[in-house]
Structure 1
Amino acid sequence: MNHDITEGKWKQLKGHIKEKWADLTDDEIGQAQANNERFIGAIQERYGIAKDEAERQFYELKNKLS
């Protein structure tokens, strides 16, 4: 996959993340690109949900865009 396609997919995912988890900061959202586990931890912390649920929600959203 070339860089332009990857960058476009990231921008789509980032937009959907902002819609679903509006309370997250841009820095926390940026973690999704670099490290899924840290991003899932941010979802857990910000929304007070279990790790399994945060993972489920994140990967469900990510898979919708694939």
Structure 2
Amino acid sequence: MSRPKRNEYAVYRGEELLAMGNVDECSETLGVSTSYIYWLISPTAKKRLASRKNLDQCIVGVRLDDEDE
């Protein structure tokens, strides 16, 4: 029986990589809750961040897709 697959994420501030890994690893590295990481990758967060003036200071989350799928 195989284990369920855990998605990988990357969290950036501008061009700077702040954290990479699953949701638990990213939240632990940044010292935030897992719900905050999930919010960062949501469409709502992306819409809100798109309207900001200083995008290079915004924290954004990106889901990393597996290339072998």
Question: When the two structures are superposed, what TM-score results if normalisation uses the length of structure 2?
Answer: 0.33
**Structure number having the greater strand percentage:** 2
Higher Cα Rg: structure 1 or 2?
2
Larger relative contact order, structure 1 or 2 (CA cutoff 8 Å, min sep 6): 2
**Structure number having the greater helix percentage:** 1
